[in-house]
Amino acid sequence: MAHGLAHLHTAWQVEKAVTEEDAKVVLLRFGHDYDPECMLMDEVLLSVQDAIVAKCQTFLVDVGEVPEFTQQYELHDPCTLMFFYKGRHLQLELGLGERYKITWPIGGQKEVQAVVEAVHRGAQQGRDLIVALQDRSLQYRY
């Protein structure tokens, strides 16, 4: 768990964080704090926090501690990122098929920054589906 990022411990805190922010995008990282994949993601999110703080608030949610969202958002992956804006869940088209969440390991600071900027720009324009500038469908080919 990254100690520089806010941690939400109840479903009420999650709902409050998502619905009360009016100007910024809310990024929720769902997963287990002890999971190695989540630890890596938390390090990336912490390292990019200063660069995205004007556009995005980041919160960590341990699905073992707050299981209420596991079924609602189908949180079956070890680490999941989801974006919200003014209480709405945003859909992302990143070229990988999954539109409601990011479930793969993000490459680094620049990739997180690019996704957050695209999401913030699209959310402020009132879009429900945000298309990223870079197509990631060919990125993980073997």
pLDDT one-digit tens code per residue, 76-107: 889 999 999 999 999 888 776 667 788 877 87
Cα separations in angstroms, 77 against 10, 84, 141: 20, 19, 20
pLDDT of residue 3: 75
pLDDT of residue 28: 96
**Tens-binned pLDDT, residue by residue, of the chain (142 aa):** 567 899 999 999 999 999 999 999 999 999 998 999 999 999 999 999 999 999 999 999 999 999 998 888 888 889 999 999 999 999 888 776 667 788 877 878 888 898 899 899 999 888 878 887 655 444 544 4
pLDDT of residue 141: 44
CA 7, CA 76: separation in Å to the nearest integer? 20
Q: 79: burial class by Cβ within 10 Å (0-12, 13-18, 19+)?
A: buried
Give the chain's radius of gyration (CA, Å): 14
CA 7, CA 91: separation in Å to the nearest integer? 23
pLDDT of residue 128: 78
